[in-house]
């Protein structure tokens, strides 16, 4: 509800700003852009996020185990069969996106490589239960809005650095943009989704003991969340991303958003040696 209300308010504000500040062809062009944004928001949010992540569809012939696990869990939960994707990222992450009746499961390539069939089944179950409980569509909208803001910001910076083709200038501007965007990105995520979403999901998962125990096995293979979010780690990622492509910066900004596994596994990962 908060996400939908935010979208309505922003759309109305943008329309009002365009109507007041522009006229003639500029007004028409601005309204066309706003209309395209609304169409994407209502019909192609999942496709846009897949684009931001650079995700590629997984064929059943390439990853038969992943396909079998996803089909099995979709049947168990009585939800539509999801489309499966992978992306090349830095962290071991898994996401589910839903746009109307279309469901997409996305795993990082590293996570896909280290999990067996039972662990993939548990991951697919944890993702698809969000669809079953009508949680996934809200998360999809939030990640789309954050991803779109990231993409527009970094794309604008990319154009600026084409005008001023200086490596030091590009790095400085990338660091400045990351410094300015990160607090607002985290605040928006907290206000629209927040830890309450993950706590609710954790409560749901605890009712399924087998899947919960298999997810704990996955935990032992992941990077510890306090290592990922520690100040030195974030600074290293921040500095390295300044030298990387627009595509990489989009991926890392979405990967570093709070994830349910950070809540599920935090007590266990901090006790691990």
State pLDDT tens for residues 36-93: 767 666 678 889 899 989 899 998 778 889 999 999 999 999 999 999 999 998 888 8
pTM of the predicted model, to two decimals? 0.80
The per-residue pLDDT for range 128-166, each reduced to its tens digit, is: 999 999 989 888 988 888 888 888 888 887 788 778 777
Angle between helices 231-241 and 246-255 (to 10 degrees): 160
- Determine how many CB atoms are found less than 10 A away from the CB of residue 156: 11
Is the backbone of residue 85 left (phi > 0), alpha (psi -120 to 50) or beta? beta
**Percent of the chain at pLDDT exceeding 90:** 19
The whole-number average pLDDT for the span 237-246 is 63
Q: Which residues does residue 86 pair with via DSSP β-bridges, in sequence order?
A: 56, 107
Q: Which residues contact 103 (CB under 8 A, 6 or more apart)?
A: 74, 79, 80, 81, 82, 83, 96, 97, 128, 131, 136
The per-residue pLDDT for range 160-193, each reduced to its tens digit, is: 877 877 777 777 777 777 778 878 888 888 888 8
Listed by start position, the domains of the chain span 2-43, 54-132, 136-271
Query: Distances from the Cα of 171 to the Cαs of 6, 160, 174, 211, in angstroms?
Result: 33, 12, 5, 44
Quick check: 246 pLDDT over 80? Answer: no
Please calculate the CA angle 271-257-176 and round it to the nearest 5 degrees: 115
CATH number of 54-132: 3.30.2010.10
Q: Which residues does residue 92 pair with via DSSP β-bridges, in sequence order?
A: none
């Amino acid at each position: 509800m908060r996400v939908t209300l935010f979208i309505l308010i922003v759309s109305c504000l943008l329309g009002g700003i365009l109507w007041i500040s522009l006229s003639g062809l500029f007004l028409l062009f601005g309204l066309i852009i706003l209309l395209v944004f609304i169409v994407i928001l209502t019909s192609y949010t999942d496709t846009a996020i897949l684009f931001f992540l650079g995700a590629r569809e997984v064929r059943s012939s390439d990853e038969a185990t992943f396909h079998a696990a996803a089909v099995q869990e979709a049947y168990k939960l009585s939800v539509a069969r999801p489309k499966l994707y992978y992306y090349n990222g830095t962290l071991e992450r898994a996401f589910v996106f839903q746009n109307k009746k279309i469901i997409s499961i996305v795993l990082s390539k590293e996570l896909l490589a280290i999990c067996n069939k039972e662990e993939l089944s548990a991951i697919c179950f944890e993702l698809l239960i969000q669809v079953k409980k009508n949680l996934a569509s809200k998360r999809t909208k939030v990640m789309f809005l954050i991803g779109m803001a990231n993409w527009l910001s970094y794309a604008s910076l990319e154009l600026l650095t084409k005008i001023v083709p200086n490596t030091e200038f590009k790095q400085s501007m990338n660091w400045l943009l990351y410094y300015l965007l990160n607090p607002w990105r985290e605040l928006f995520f907290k206000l629209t989704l927040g830890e309450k979403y993950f706590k609710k999901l954790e409560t749901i998962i605890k009712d399924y003991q087998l899947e919960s125990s298999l997810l704990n096995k996955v935990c032992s293979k992941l990077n510890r969340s306090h290592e990922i979010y520690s100040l030195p780690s974030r600074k290293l990622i921040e500095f390295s991303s300044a030298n990387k492509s627009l595509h990489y910066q989009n991926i890392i900004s979405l990967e570093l958003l709070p994830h349910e596994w950070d809540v599920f596994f935090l007590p266990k990962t901090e006790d691990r040696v």
